[in-house]
Amino acid sequence: MKKLLLLLVFPLLSAACASVQEAENFANCKYALRSVEIADYNINSLVFDVYVGITNLNKKDAAAIKKFEGKLTMNDVHVADVNFADVRIEPKSIKNQKIHLEIPMSSFSNKLLGLVSMGSGTVDYHLTGTATFDTPLGEVPVPVDIGRIGSTN
């Protein structure tokens, strides 16, 4: 009877251990808002390339982000929703995830538009959201909150 119980419990414990290992891998990731660059502009919108640096500090296992959903603010003004999916970061490496955003001019105040278009060092870029990854026991969301002040940081 004990052997039968062990045979039934072993797969559950294995899945739980794998889930804990994946959660540990993800917890070992660091995030940084590397840069926000104007890629294009017209009378209706500004197009930005946002680069998010994701560092996997784990020595053995890759980290895999299933999806990221967040918001980009500039000087505390929400300007865009930010989404990306299926990003894999190899062990002990950095992935600079490029996010292409087209933001309507109506999202900017005149002051903020002037600061952004001049590449001012006083613009505070902030990205908050949730990164989600899969485990054998289901999806696990992890909050991400990163920022970058000015054009030289």
Helix (H, G, I), strand (E, B) or coil at 108: coil
On the CB side of 90, how many CA atoms lie within 13 Å of its CA?
A: 1
- Which of 79, 64, 74, 87 is closest to 140 using CA atoms? 64
Are residues 81 and 66 in contact, defined by beta-carbon separation less than 8 angstroms?
A: no
For 28-40, b/e burial (b = at least 16 CB within 10 A) is: bbebbbbbbeeee
Overall average pLDDT of the 99-127 stretch = 81
Q: Is the pLDDT of residue 147 over 70?
A: yes
> Is the pLDDT at 34 greater than 60, yes or no?
yes
Mean pLDDT of 98-120: 81
Neighbour order of strands in the sheet with 63-74: 77-89, 63-74, 124-135, 138-149
> Taking all residues of the chain, what is their mean pLDDT, rounded to a whole number?
80
Residue 94 has pLDDT above 60, yes or no: yes
**Residue range 41-71, pLDDT digits in tens:** 888 988 989 999 999 988 888 888 899 999 9
Instruction: Map residue 145 onto helix, strand or coil.
Output: strand
- Domains of the chain are 2-149 (2.60.40.1820)
